[in-house]
Amino acid sequence: EDQVTQSPEALRLQEGESSSLNCSYTVSGLRGLFWYRQDPGKGPEFLFTLYSAGEEKEKERLKATLTKKESFLHITAPKPEDSATYLCAVQARQAGTALIFGKGTTLSVSS
């Protein structure tokens, strides 16, 4: 069964304290791995797509990497405005399949 596991569930950082979020997945042929950010009371907002091992994407203080079994979202020198829930999702290669989401990591950055 295709599934996505994210860890940790919650992460508290001080402003400027870099860290990484993990997304482990099992899927019958990976078509793409997606990272989303969700703020309270809002819908998820697209951040990155990765679709082959070794690929990396960057956006401001965020950098996403992909291996054959997991993805990391690295946060460098985070700021309070980076506080949100970060969701990972995968899509299997089989046509017509929807995204399978993980439970998310809730990040809190304090000044």
Q: Which of residues 74-93 bind other proteins (CB under 8 A)?
A: 85, 87, 89, 91
How far is it, in rounded angstroms, from Cα 57 to Cα 98?
22
Contacts of 110 (CB under 8 A, 6+ apart): 12, 13, 14, 15, 80
Shortest Å distance, C-beta 100 to other proteins: 8
Q: Which of residues 19-58 bind other proteins (CB under 8 A)?
A: 31-32, 34, 36, 41-46, 49, 51
Q: Residues 101, 12, 65, CA angle at the centre, nearest 5°? A: 45
Q: Which stretch binds other proteins (CB under 8 A): 14-22, 56-64, 75-83, 100-108?
A: 100-108
How far is it, in rounded angstroms, from Cα 20 to Cα 103?
16
Is residue 12 within the footprint of other proteins (CB under 8 A)?
no
Residues of this chain that interact with other proteins (CB under 8 A) are 31-32, 34, 36, 41-46, 49, 51, 85, 87, 89, 91, 96-99, 101, 103-104
